[in-house]
Amino acid sequence: MRHELAVTASLCIKSHNRMQKVMLIGYLGHDPEVKYTQQGRAIAQFSVATTERWGNRDGELQEHTEWFAVKTFGRRAEIVGEFLHTGSRVYLEGRKRTESWDDNQSGGKRYRDFVYADRIEFLSSKGNGYGNGYQEPTGNDPDETTADQEPPF
């Protein structure tokens, strides 16, 4: 019986191996940029900063900010473009997607990771868009870097 259960669970995992989920709470690094495809579908692109803080062994506060490039599509993209701006606090759910293109200057292939957001909740207060306890994200917004810069790895 135990072996039969293990085989059944293994088959279920293999046949439904589609689980990939990204969940973030953070602050927009810049106003969303909304563009439209030739078919009229909206695409919003923006960055989100998340910061984790912890104390080291000596009790000193440590901090690390991670930046995520985000895209969302359709009506959601239009709403994001209308209501979110630099510093807005959001919760989002989505999936990681790597986009690639041919770089005309180098002749090589370029890659960039995005979070394709399927769900976005606005966490900022209506008054100033920053929410309670807003703290400016630290670190540089990766969308403000030049196209020639390579990832630091």
- Span 4-23, average pLDDT: 61
Residue 40 has pLDDT above 90, yes or no: yes
| Local structure of residue 147 (DSSP, 8 states) | T
Question: Among 44, 47, 41, 50, which Cα is nearest to 23's?
Answer: 50
Residue 9 has pLDDT above 60, yes or no: no
Q: In this predicted structure, what is the pLDDT of residue 112? A: 93
pTM: 0.69
Q: In this predicted structure, what is the pLDDT of residue 15? A: 52
Question: Among 65, 69, 67, 80, which Cα is nearest to 119's?
Answer: 80
- Span 71-97, average pLDDT: 96
- Span 87-112, average pLDDT: 93
Q: In this predicted structure, what is the pLDDT of residue 126? A: 55
Q: Which residue has the higher pLDDT, 64 or 133?
A: 64
Q: In this predicted structure, what is the pLDDT of residue 138? A: 46
Cα separation of 1 and 18, whole Å?
Answer: 27
Question: Among 78, 69, 68, 67, which Cα is nearest to 44's?
Answer: 78
Q: Which residue has the higher pLDDT, 146 or 42?
A: 42
- Span 71-77, average pLDDT: 97
H/E stretch holding 122: strand 109-122
Residue 110 and residue 101 in contact, taking contact as beta carbons nearer than 8 Å? yes
Task: Read off the pLDDT band of 144 (50, 70, 90).
Answer: very low
Task: Read off the pLDDT band of 17 (50, 70, 90).
Answer: low
Cα separation of 133 and 148, whole Å?
Answer: 36
Residue 45 has pLDDT above 60, yes or no: yes
Burial of 6 (0-12, 13-18, 19+ CB in 10 A): exposed
Q: In this predicted structure, what is the pLDDT of residue 146? A: 35
| Local structure of residue 149 (DSSP, 8 states) | P
Cα separation of 22 and 153, whole Å?
Answer: 22
> Domains in the chain and their CATH numbers?
20-133 (2.40.50.140)
